[in-house]
Each structure stands twice: as structure tokens, then as C-alpha cells.
Homo-oligomer: A and B are copies of this chain.
Amino acid sequence: MRDRPHIAVIGPAAPSPEEAARAFEVGELLARAGAVIVCGGGSGVMEEACRGAKAAAPKKTVTIGILPGTDRSASNPFVDVAIPTGLGELRNGLVVRAADALIAVGGAFGTLSEIAFALKAGKRVVGLGTWELSRAGETDATILVAHDPADAVAFALAAP
């Protein structure tokens, strides 16, 4: 299992309906491709990605939730392996460390911290309607822009 690609799906706990639907589809496609799903273990985008994975491949998929608190049972019900950290928002960094690549669906400030850690670590970040970064008026093109879930999953799983 350890040798399968580990893809983090990151995004807000309170997504729009469109973001939720995209996260679900990302989860389905990752599960069908045999990826292990990593997330922050909470609701919203995190839960939808896990729920999609479980719907698509209930037996073979593994979903990992890395939680801010110390209570394993606080994870969403589609998480198989819940890691309670007690680190608060700092657990975002562990989500990044556990993943080979990340797909950001929407995004609030917590998601932005995960994107930043991942780019700092040189990991691939694929965005589906997420943050756009610029400096001095120039767009930073480091986040790969996907147009739909299939695109996003293909980018995330492409050989580095």
C-alpha cells in the first residue's frame, strides 16, 4: 500500500456545492486509479473526496485523515486511518509530508498553507478553482491549473 501514489485532496470544510461535487469526483477517480487518498480528515472537500473514493472502490481504497485534534473519532466517517495529531492547524504540514502530490479544490487560508508547504517542498500542486498567486503583478505559474476533476487527477498522477 505504501508504494501506491499518495495524493492529498485539500480544500475548505465548507465548500460550495460545485466544489463538493468536484471533490467527490476527484475521490472517485483517484480511487479507481489505485491511489491512497490523504486529507485533513474533516468535513467538506475532505469528506467528499473520501466519500467519492469509497463509492468508487469500497474495498481497495485507503483514505487517511490527519486530524488537528487528539480524538480519532472526530474524523469524517469515510476516513479509514485517522491520525489524531493535537497540532491544530500545523497538521496541515503533515498532510503535505504524507503526500506525493496535492489537488486543491477551492480553498480558504488553511488550503493556502498546504499549497505553500507543498510548493516549498517541491511537490506538485494541482488546482481546481483554487488560489491564484502573483508577485509584483506577475502571475506565479507554479500551481498547475486543471479544468475538471479528470484533468486534475491526471496531472497529479503523472510521473514527476
Cβ distance A132 to chain B, nearest Cβ, rounded Å: 5
A93 at the interface (CB under 8 A from B): yes
Whole-angstrom CA separation of A83 from B79 in the bound complex:
15
Cβ distance A10 to chain B, nearest Cβ, rounded Å: 12
Q: So how many copies of this chain end up in the complex?
A: 4
Whole-angstrom CA separation of A4 from B107 in the bound complex:
33
Whole-angstrom CA separation of A137 from B97 in the bound complex:
29
Does B2 lie within 8 Å of A82, measured CB to CB?
yes
Chain A residues bordering chain B, tally (CB within 8 A)? 48
Does B64 lie within 8 Å of A81, measured CB to CB?
yes
Please, which residues of chain B bring their CB within 8 A of the CB of A79? 2
Interface 9-mer from A25-33, A84-92, A147-155:
A84-92
Whole-angstrom CA separation of A21 from B99 in the bound complex:
34
Cβ distance A56 to chain B, nearest Cβ, rounded Å: 18
Which residue of B is nearest A140, CB measured? Answer: B131
A116 at the interface (CB under 8 A from B): yes
Does A6 lie within 8 Å of B72, measured CB to CB?
yes
Cβ distance A24 to chain B, nearest Cβ, rounded Å: 20
Q: Beta-carbon contacts of A62-87 to B below 8 Å, as 1s and 0s?
A: 10101000101101000111111111
15 contacts between A and B (CB under 8 A): A2-B72, A2-B80, A2-B82, A83-B83, A90-B94, A108-B120, A110-B116, A112-B112, A112-B115, A112-B119, A112-B133, A129-B136, A132-B133, A132-B135, A134-B134
